Amino acid sequence: MMDIDALKKQLFEKARKKGFEDCELYYSENSHSSVSVYKGKLEKYQNSQTGGFCFRGSYNGSMGYYFSETTDIDIDSVIDNAMANADITDTDNKEFISEGSKSYSSVKIYNDALNGLTVEQKLETALEMERSALDYDKRIRPERASVSTGEGSVYIANTKGLELSEKRNYALASVSVMAEENGNTKSKYELFVGNDIEDLDPAGLGISAAKKAVSALGGSPVKSGSMNIILSNEVFADILGCFLPVFYAEEAHKGFSVLKDKTGERIASDILTIRDDPLIDGGFASCSFDSEGTASYGKNVIENGVLKTLLYNLKSAARDNVRSTGNGFKASFKSAVMTSATNFFVEKGNKTLDEVMKKTGEGLFITDVAGLHSGADRISGDFSLAAEGFRIENGVITSPVDQITIGGNFYDMLNNITAIADDLKFFASVGSPSVAVKNMTVGGL
Amino acid sequence: MISKKTAEAVLLCAVSRGAEFAELFVENNAKNSVSLVNGKVESANSGIDRGCGIRIINKERTVYVYTNNMAEDNLLRLASEGAEAIHGNTKLKNIVFSAMQYDKLYTPEIMPDSVKKSDIVDMLKTGSNAAYGYNKLITQTRMGYTDSCRNVIIANTEGLWAEDERVRTRIAVSAVASDGNEKQTGYFGPGALKGFEFYDTISIEDIAKEAARSAVTMLGAGNCPSGKMSVIMDNGFGGVIFHEACGHGLEAAAISKNASVFAGKIGQKIACERLTAIDDGTIPGSWGSINIDDEGVKSRKNILIENGILKGYMTDRYNGGLIGMEPTGSSRRESYKFMPVSRMTNTYIAPGTDKKEDIIADTEYGLYARYMGGGSVDPASGDFNFAVNEAYIVRNGKICEPVRGATLIGKGSDVLLNIDRISDNLALAEGMCGASSGSIPVCVGQPMIRVQNITVGGRE
């Protein structure tokens, strides 16, 4: 869309003239195309292409930013605005523009085969998901089924000679259904994320969503109290995803994570290992470099219960006198460089979920939680969430449970893990197997 | 941002295969943000969002394409690609635009881009200092400032040409209290559909002190008990209960798919008799207000529930069409990147006649929720949840010890019937609401209410 080289040249020249030292151009383009069906017909077709650039530069020791979705903009105003932003930013909060790493690992994040997927094929896949869900049980009503593909690219260039680019593509498929019986309604969905469409089983996804909804019908609350709980792979991934920032050195430095100065200490059950790995082929957050141009690599964050490292960008690494872990990311091209995990996951255990249930004996299997954006306090670690699932009696799943809450503290929970199943699954960039936790507070009757 | 000639050509192209309706939404949004952490400016960022969305509707079928490459040939290419996905029998040769006339709810006095950035920093520092100064247990502060000046043009094949300028500003104030082992946070986020003059009407210092007080109070609090009990929810952000338990279920997108417990219930009693609830997009300067919605319909005051009877839904053109209801000025979207759907604006429970003191005095045992956090709902089942940020046990008609970590859950249809007291002290509070058309500014509100027998999830 934009003539990047010309933009870069103009920006860097004018910025230098106005007194900027190191400067960077970050440019990104995205396209997305999706098809949604409802009751056997195409309901919605969407297509988009967007992009934009962000300039950042060091001025009198502070970093100034300015972004734009359009190049139809006066370059002087970009520089002047970035300068005004730099002027008010504190200088001891030092961000770096770097020449990058010596070498970069490659990772498969672009699949040419995805480009061949036609609108008709997406439509057929979405229809198959919906149809198989409806055929599964007569209590199922459709809500939406959609299939989409997208592509994104990033380009980073700076005055230290760094010039990097990478592009990725992906496919998403989701199916939402409602099950209804005796005035009781349950709405459930299944989601596929990947960049190999061969991995998608449309009928399987539809049936799975329908099964989830039907089996949740007729749930009832349990008595309030402390219980042994198995969190499904999805629920543990949801909770872990919510507390990700506690593993960011930047948050620890600001006093927003209690993991400050805990590296090397035991912070979790010794059966827990958590890894951040950006080099998984086809991974949702895979990349060969971060937004600062640092080469990506995999690392254990927690190993057998011991905190091995926090996640660093260049700024937080300089403060702790360590190397960046390649986790300096922008949330979008517009944002400032922050910290972000990549493919962040709990290593699987060696028992099946059935074996973990058997070992648990009596308790709850939690399959859904809601309210993570409000009912979890990242700073204290406290959470209390609306939850649903099933009773576990004599080591097997029995009746559905709903209208309960589960409460606890994230850090206590890490220590109270008693078993980890082998059903590791990724939900976008966060992955987990099902995890058994003792003594969690359940709110119900 | 776009000429009428280009708009006409793009719209005609969008319906060239016979679709009934097409609409253009063009936007230029100048944004600015400053973040202050522990008294220091962590980042300052600004920039421009600009782009265009083209929506094509034919009966139940919709196409939405968007881009920020505004060149006419690119828009025509996207429109014609969209037209291919949606054939119909309507023929349209030309469009005569007529400019929509309406009165602005509020005229900003100080445009955000005229404010010196150092003034913004000074204001944030005043807040941070006030929080630190409140108590030595305050160990961290986080202050955020955002403003945006959003110019939009909405044009459609029926000849609508609507232009609007939306100026908003908001400040976020967090104070963290710590006793060495534990940390608790107090937070407020006031904002308005106004210019920088908004900050003359509030005291950042008082807000920061109140956030600090809340954090310190919660630091000393025990864990909230779990189980069913009476809950008294204070005014202002307490209104999040209506927003989640009922509001989302009254949006036409859920109604048109029969994915709401309130579908088909107009004219029926769905709440206690004393409850009246309103969605009002016309409150001058209010954070959730809109001059016109994102389909170019004038905002209005919509009565949703009157004395317990369901009166109406919030509708947009597409979903309203599916259920045979006129648009209510409720169609909203985060940006041109989203197709608009019916959403809330300023939604609140109307004041009742009870006195706040009496509600507390008449409660033998329960929870008093002074400040609420956010929540969410599944409109299909009506299952909702929301967090309580500051709560106390009520015993024998008196507010007793503070408790932390409470989440309230329930079913929307039950909770509306279980509201048994409504006070007279209505207040609104600002928030962001996320749904299919993105994250949009809304207000929630209520006077103090009491709900019988609601599930409280704590850690005891």
Hey, where are the domains in chain A?
4-32+40-88, 112-216, 219-445
Distance from CA of B124 to the nearest CA of A (A): 12
Angle at which helix B117-134 crosses helix B204-219, to 10 degrees, equals: 40
What are the start-end ranges of the E strands in B157-275?
Answer: 160-178, 183-188, 191-192, 222-223, 227-233
Question: Is A386 part of the contact surface with chain B (CB cutoff 8 Å)?
Answer: yes
What does the alpha-carbon distance between residue B290 and residue B23 come to, in Å, rounded to a whole number?
19
Q: Which residues of A touch B116 (CB under 8 A)?
A: none
A 238-257 residues with CB < 8 A to B: 254-256
Distance from CA of B33 to the nearest CA of A (A): 9
Based on the structure, what is the number of domains in chain B? 1
- Residue B373 has its nearest CB partner, among A42, A374, A379, at A374
What does the alpha-carbon distance between residue B316 and residue B343 come to, in Å, rounded to a whole number?
8
Look at the alpha carbons of B190, B196, B202, B205 in this order and tell me if their dihedral is positive or negative.
Answer: positive
What is the enclosing helix (H) or strand (E) of A241?
Answer: helix A233-242
Whether the Cβ atoms of residue B437 and residue B332 lie closer than 8 Å to each other: yes
Q: Which residues of B touch A221 (CB under 8 A)?
A: 455
- Residue B118 has its nearest CB partner, among A50, A88, A407, at A88
B376 with A81: Cβ contact below 8 A: no
- Residue A88 has its nearest CB partner, among B44, B47, B384, at B44
- Is residue B437 included in any domain, yes or no? yes
Could you tell me the CA-to-CA distances from A72 to A78, B3, B375 in Å, in that order? 11, 16, 40
Whether the Cβ atoms of residue B189 and residue B417 lie closer than 8 Å to each other: no
> Across-strand partners of B162?
B154
Q: Which residues of A touch B120 (CB under 8 A)?
A: 88
Closest CA to A374 of B434, B426, B287: B434
How many Cα neighbours within 13 Å face the side chain of A241? 18
CA B184 to chain centre: 25
> Checking phi first, is residue A138 left (phi over 0); if not, alpha (psi -120 to 50) or beta?
alpha
> Which chain B residue lies closest to A77 (C-alpha atoms)?
B47
> Which chain B residue lies closest to A68 (C-alpha atoms)?
B48
The hierarchical CATH code for the domain A4-32+40-88 is 3.30.2290.10
Question: Is A408 part of the contact surface with chain B (CB cutoff 8 Å)?
Answer: yes
Q: How many CB atoms lie within 10 A of CB A394?
A: 9
What does the alpha-carbon distance between residue B36 and residue A25 come to, in Å, rounded to a whole number?
25
Question: Is A70 part of the contact surface with chain B (CB cutoff 8 Å)?
Answer: yes
What is the tens place of the pLDDT at every residue in B55-89? 999 989 999 999 999 999 999 999 999 999 888 99
Mutation to test the A interface, candidates B123, B248, B407, B454, most A Cβ within 10 Å: B407
What does the alpha-carbon distance between residue B230 and residue B236 come to, in Å, rounded to a whole number?
19
Q: By 3-state DSSP, what share of chain A in percent is helix, strand and coil, each rounded to 5? A: 25, 40, 35
Q: Which residues of A touch B376 (CB under 8 A)?
A: 370-371, 373-374
| pLDDT value of position B380 | 85
- Is residue B212 included in any domain, yes or no? no
Closest CA to B333 of B55, B131, B117: B55
Q: Which residues of B touch A68 (CB under 8 A)?
A: 47-48, 50
> Which chain B residue lies closest to A440 (C-alpha atoms)?
B459
Q: Which fold has domain A112-216?
A: PmbA/TldD fold (3.30.2290)
What does the alpha-carbon distance between residue A12 and residue A434 come to, in Å, rounded to a whole number?
51
Whether the Cβ atoms of residue A213 and residue A186 lie closer than 8 Å to each other: yes
- Specify the amino acid at residue B441: P
> Which chain A residue lies closest to B457 (C-alpha atoms)?
A443
- Max distance between CA atoms of chain B, in angstroms, equals 74
Distance from CA of A329 to the nearest CA of B (A): 15
Grouped pLDDT means (10 residues each) for chain A, 445 residues = 83 96 96 96 94 95 94 91 95 87 96 91 96 97 95 97 96 96 91 91 97 96 95 98 97 91 96 98 96 98 98 96 97 95 97 97 97 88 94 97 94 97 96 97 92
> Which chain A residue lies closest to B228 (C-alpha atoms)?
A445
What does the alpha-carbon distance between residue B230 and residue B415 come to, in Å, rounded to a whole number?
11
- Is residue B207 included in any domain, yes or no? no
- Is residue B203 included in any domain, yes or no? no
B257 with A441: Cβ contact below 8 A: no
What does the alpha-carbon distance between residue A8 and residue A25 come to, in Å, rounded to a whole number?
6
A336 with B178: Cβ contact below 8 A: no
Grouped pLDDT means (10 residues each) for chain B, 460 residues = 96 96 97 96 95 95 95 95 90 95 96 96 98 96 97 98 98 94 91 98 97 95 93 95 94 93 95 96 98 97 98 96 95 97 98 97 97 88 91 97 93 92 97 95 98 89
- Is residue B93 included in any domain, yes or no? no
Q: Which residues of B touch A140 (CB under 8 A)?
A: none
A 318-377 residues with CB < 8 A to B: 334-336, 370-371, 373-375, 377
What does the alpha-carbon distance between residue A415 and residue B150 come to, in Å, rounded to a whole number?
48
Question: Is A444 part of the contact surface with chain B (CB cutoff 8 Å)?
Answer: yes
Distance from CA of A124 to the nearest CA of B (A): 14
- ipTM (interface pTM): 0.91
Residue B387 structural domain:
227-457
- Is residue B405 included in any domain, yes or no? yes
What are the DSSP calls for B243-267, one per residue?
HHHTGGGGBHHHHHTT-STTTT-TT
Question: Is A402 part of the contact surface with chain B (CB cutoff 8 Å)?
Answer: yes
> Across-strand partners of B23?
B55, B156
What are the DSSP calls for B340-402, one per residue?
-EE--SEEEEPP-SB-HHHHHHT-SEEEEEEEEEEEEEETTTTEEEEEEEEEEEEETTEEEEE
Distance from CA of B191 to the nearest CA of A (A): 19
How many Cα neighbours within 13 Å face the side chain of B125? 12
- Is residue B78 included in any domain, yes or no? no
What is the enclosing helix (H) or strand (E) of A122?
Answer: helix A119-136
Mutation to test the A interface, candidates B119, B183, B244, B256, most A Cβ within 10 Å: B183
Q: What is the number of CB-based contacts under 8 A between chain A and chain B?
A: 250
Based on DSSP, count helices (H) and strands (E) in chain A, helices before strands. 10, 20
Pairing mode, if any, of strands A382-393 and A363-370? antiparallel
What does the alpha-carbon distance between residue B129 and residue B40 come to, in Å, rounded to a whole number?
11
A375 with B407: Cβ contact below 8 A: yes
Q: Which residues of A touch B226 (CB under 8 A)?
A: 224-225, 405, 407, 441-444
pTM of the model: 0.93
> Which chain B residue lies closest to A80 (C-alpha atoms)?
B46
